[in-house]
Amino acid sequence: MAPMLTLRGLTRRFGGLTAVDAIDLDLAKGELVSIIGPNSAGKTTLFNLVTGHDRPDAGAVLFEERDVTALSPETLAARGIARTFQLGRVFANLSVMDNILIGAHTRLRAVRPAVPVIGPLIELGLALLRPASVKAEEERLREEVKIILARFGERLLPRIDQPAYSLSYANRRRVEIARALALKPRLLLLDEPTAGMNPSETAEMQGLVAELKAEGLTILLIEHKLEMVMRLSDRVVVMDEGKKIAEGAGEAVRNDPKVIEAYLGHGLSGAAEQESAA
Amino acid sequence: MSSWLDYTINGLIVGNVYALVAVGLALIFGVSRLINFAQGSIYLVGAYIGWVAVVQLHTPLPLTIIVVAAAAALVGLVIERFGLRPLQNSVRIAPLLATIGISFVLDQLVMLTFSPNPRALPSQLPDVRFQVGGGTIGPLDLLIAGVGLTSALLLFVFLRYSKLGWAVRAASQDRDAAMQMGVDVNRVNQAVFGIAAALGGVSGMLVGMYYNQIDTAMSLQATLKGVVAEVVGGAGNVPGAVIGSLLLGLVESYGVAVFGTSYRNLFAFLLLVVVLVLRPNGLFASARQAPPEPLTGTFIAPSRPLRIPRWALLAAAAIFALLPLLPVSFYVLQTLINAWLLGMLALSLTLVAGTIGQVSLGHAALLAIGAYTSALLSLSAAVPVGLAIIAGGLMSAALGTILISPSFRLRGHYVSIATLAIGEIVSLVILNWESVTRGPIGISGIPPLSLFGYDLVSPASIYWFSFAVMVALALLQARLLGSHLGRSFRAIRDDDIAARAYGLSLNRYKSLAFIFGGFAAGVSGGIAAHLYSYINHETFNTQQSILALTVVILGGLGNVVGAVVGSVALVGLPELFRIAAEYRILIYGIVLLLLVRFRPQGLLGTI
Ligand SMILES: Nc1ncnc2c1ncn2[C@@H]1O[C@H](COP(=O)(O)OP(=O)(O)OP(=O)(O)O)[C@@H](O)[C@H]1O
Ligand SMILES: [Mg+2]
């Protein structure tokens, strides 16, 4: 079967620094691949390149066998790629409900008919008039948001109408993941979903990611917590200074001398970061 | 041929003056990522202090320069200490609004002290011209060039060799790292504001001498020119600001040579828009750079909006609707009619600046487009007034959105600059496009308001008409905010990167916001045209844009009810207390400053 996501020679330079250096990667449908590496290895930059937030200087990104290199983030979202952000980017003044409804934006059909040129004006008109079809769609999505939120137990449901800025840090991370799920993604990219979470919250998150994987979702995961990486991943890719230095099954990669050296060479920064962040 | 040399010399001299303003802006932007909209006011203050020194104190030239520099620097230090330092930990929109407020307060203080009439500022230099090549050059030209070069040299020495200068450079490279290394950011800010103000003040004085005239309109022009030069050179880039200024001076000078004086500013603002669109980081910026991921920290203060119960809104609407039936004076109705017209503009701006986060400073241009469209259609094409007003709204929606669209890819403070410039462009086009707009003469004899063939002449009927239109627009906007577009707009405001990651196209939704908001503003302008019966290119000016912005902040960003409440408050309260017209703008400026400092979420809260 053809891979879902293919990266070929993907490269991004910032001035003299090569943040992502000729990365090749194949991700099959339903696979969960983790990307690990010390700080500043280029992991987030790689995500930015895949999701259209940044353009590569060289190389190509193929999604479902189509070249999507340097397409805009909004186009890629419409194709089914969802991501979360390392530092958390919820919409601070929007309620939890609205945050997650934005996640479902690409799935609005009734209110956003695919009409060229005057499409936006029709969208404006439908938003003001709100015929039955538009109302029904909105209702359906609101119900769906509640189902997604139920995945997080009682963490978010009681706070569904609160603005996101009033949530705890961990809850904001959950809102981000819920928002990504609302897109019904074909490919999900998670950038350190457990950063700043305590061990029990981390375990909860790990359970959720495991569930998503079991449901067949294709996931690319950046994570510093090796325990979690080892348990969840089908494969692990190790990056250092922009380059892929190792790839393979978790245990094999973990014992790879190059990987150990990369972590030691950087003063165990990855592990240290993990402790201090938690 | 000789005249070309003259134009070149003139361009370089004027460029030199701009450089004194732009370098200050660049220094400030470098250390605090802030575009100081009060820079032109300091320049104005400098010009008037120069006038006092020369005309009243008869100081010799070198002393005049020192007095102006010192006094202006003092103003800069006061602005930094009391206007901006208290805002250090507030949202990013706060210092921007504060500098706008400070600028209005300073301008008005100067105007109240010296009267708005222009004054002559003699140059104190012998009036001779030397022959150079094919052109001529006077002692004042040499003085300006000399002051420019000396300042550049002093600044260079300061930045390179003094400890404080080193701290300034460190802070502008990486503020957080500089703070960690023990750089005292307050001292750096003080130094930068002091220097910027001294340069700006001297610049204002020199310009006054160059044209032998000073007036209070100089302020906004100087801010705009300085900002243009700075952005052309790359925001925060000091040498870039100098080159940008000289370039701007030359572009203007050659533009004047070819097309005439009234086109001077048009060229400046077109240059700005072109640079913002093609190279938003300036002509000398290095390769493209994605913003590094952090960029969090919202632009707008988080707040919990006040919920006003529906019955209270209905009751208030009923009271205002019945008001003309009560024995109220003509004066009260007149005041409220103004409030309803301002309310429509504020509804438009609160959508654009509040809901989708594009802080527009040129919103009065939308009024002008609506007013001219409606006036011309009813006058020249005999379109019924009611239809003409709607056409004005539609034209404002369409044309306004097209004109603003170059700013859609900009963020934060840049949007404000671009909209300010676009607003100026609209007013300059109205001034220069005589065949359509009748140019500086303006349009007179605009037919009065009428509806279905009935003229609305009684104050009560005008009151009801404008109130009904405003309420209709407010209800429509409330409905919009409750739709998926409301949340999409607010998502873009809160975090445009995350919004794009979820499929929201910035162009599409910013356009829709401007289309909707442009309509309300255009209708307001259209009604105003038929009420005033005479309009010209200055009827709808920056002061109205700022007034609308103050209303929006007062009511709460994005807050529909707040926009209406704010309009009634800002139009009504000065009337209630019988505050003389010339003090009003001063009060608006102070209100804006106090709000930013103590209640950035406004009375009713951000929605
Ligand atoms: N927009 C940018 N401009 C300049 N340099 C950048 C930019 N974005 C990232 N970098 C640099 O690229 C390198 C890789 O950064 P990146 O954020 O991808 O690392 P990372 O592997 O995600 O690290 P971490 O584990 O700390 O999140 C870093 O040295 C960073 O400073
Ligand atoms: Mg990262």
Q: Return the pLDDT at B285.
A: 64
The pLDDT of residue B346 is 97
pLDDT on residue A276: 42
Mean pLDDT of A60-85: 95
Regarding the beta carbon of A43 and ligand 1, being less than 6 Å apart is answered yes
A23, pLDDT greater than 70:
yes
Q: How many C-beta atoms lie closer than 10 Å to residue B539's C-beta?
A: 21
> What SS3 class is residue B5?
helix
Residue B130: C-alpha distances to residues A75, B73, B443 (Å): 64, 34, 46
Atom of ligand 1 nearest to the CA of A45: 18
Q: How far is CA B423 from CA B220, B404, B543, in A?
A: 13, 9, 12
pLDDT digits (tens, 9 = 90+) for B417-464: 888 888 989 998 999 898 888 988 999 999 999 888 788 888 899 999
Cα A248 from Cα A234, distance rounded (Å):
8
pLDDT in tens, B360-390: 889 999 999 999 999 999 999 989 999 999 9
DSSP state at residue B571 = H
CA proximity to A138, closest of A178, A109, A180, A113: A109
Residue A204 shares a structural domain with residue A241: yes
Closest-CA residue of B relative to A163 is B304
Residue B533 per-residue DSSP state: S
Q: What's residue A266's pLDDT?
A: 60
Q: Is the pLDDT of residue A75 over 90?
A: yes
Q: Is the pLDDT of residue A272 over 50?
A: no
Ligand closest to Cα of A39 equals 1
Which CA distances in Å does B391 have to A122, B384, B430, B518? 19, 10, 18, 12
Selection from B33, B50, B30, B52 nearest residue B42 by Cα: B50
Q: Is the pLDDT of residue B260 over 60?
A: yes
**Looking at CA atoms only, how far is residue B66 from chain A in angstroms?**
43
Q: With bands split at pLDDT 50, 70 and 90, how would you rate the model's confidence at A273?
A: very low
Q: Are residues A32 and A136 in the same domain?
A: no
Q: What is the DSSP string of chain A?
A: ---SEEEEEEEEEETTEEEEEEEEEEE-TT-EEEEE-STTSSHHHHHHHHTTSS--SEEEEEETTEE-TT--HHHHHHHTEEE--TT----TTSBHHHHHHHHTGGG--TTS---TTTHHHHHHHHHHH--HHHHHHHHHHHHHHHHHHHTTTTTTGGGTTSBGGGS-HHHHHHHHHHHHHHT--SEEEEE-TTTT--HHHHHHHHHHHHHHHHTT-EEEEE-S-HHHHHHH-SEEEEEETTEEEEEE-HHHHHT-HHHHHHHHHTTTHHHHHHHHH-
Indicate which residue's Cα is closest to atom 17 of ligand 1: A44
ipTM over 0.95: no
Structural domain includes residue B160: yes
Query: Is residue B259 domain-shared with residue B176, that is, in the same domain?
Result: yes
Residues A118 and A97 grouped into a single domain: yes
Q: Whose CA is nearest to atom 8 of ligand 1?
A: B292
Does residue B92 carry a pLDDT above 80?
A: no
Question: Are A12 and A121 in a shared domain?
Answer: no
B161-197 per-position pLDDT tens digit: 888 888 888 887 777 788 888 888 888 889 999 999 9
Same domain, B197 and B340: no
Q: Among B541, B567, B597, give the residue marking a domain's end.
A: B541
- Note whether A86 and A223 are same-domain residues: yes
Domain boundary among A166, A196, A212: A166
Q: What pLDDT score was predicted for residue A277?
A: 41
At residue B300, the pLDDT reads: 66
DSSP state of B119: B
Q: What is the largest CA-CA distance in chain B?
A: 79
Average pLDDT on A206-225 reads 95
DSSP H stretches of helix in B290-329: 310-322
Residue A55 has pLDDT above 60, yes or no: yes
Asked if B224 and B424 count as a contact pair (C-beta separation under 8 A), the reply is yes
**Packing angle, helices B93-114 and B218-233, rounded to 10:** 150
Alpha-carbon distance B396 to B522, whole Å?
5
Check whether residue A152 and residue A198 sit in a common domain.
no
In a domain, B297, yes or no: no
Number of independent structural domains in chain A: 2
Contact B494 A94 (CB under 8 A): yes
Compute the mean pLDDT over every residue in chain A, rounded to the nearest whole number. Answer: 91
In this prediction, residue A271 carries a pLDDT of: 47
- Say if residue B36 is in the same domain as residue B179: yes
Decide whether any atom of ligand 1 lies within 6 Å of the A14 Cβ.
Answer: yes
The reply to whether B363 and B218 lie within a common domain is no
Q: Are A86 and A117 within one domain?
A: no
Would you say residue A35 lies in a domain? yes
Position B2 confidence tier, pLDDT thresholds 50, 70, 90: low
**pLDDT at residue B240, rounded to an integer:** 87
Asked whether residue B158 is assigned to any structural domain, the reply reads: yes
Same domain, B198 and B100: yes
Q: For ligand 1, say whether the CB of A39 is within 6 Å of any of its atoms.
A: yes
Q: Are A105 and A211 members of one domain?
A: no
| Shared domain check, A147 and A100 | yes
| Residue located via tokens 């196209």 | B505
**Nearest CA among A92, A84, A98 for reference residue A219:** A84
Question: Cα B313 vs. chain centroid, distance in angstroms?
Answer: 33
Residue A162 has pLDDT above 50, yes or no: yes
Position B224 scores a pLDDT of 86
What range does the domain containing B397 cover? 333-541
Domain that holds residue A16: 5-90+184-277
Each residue of B278-291: pLDDT tens digit? 877 777 765 445 44
Compute the distance between CA of residue B90 and CA of residue B600 in angstroms, rounded to an integer.
Answer: 9
- Inter-residue contact B525 to B366 (CB < 8 Å): yes
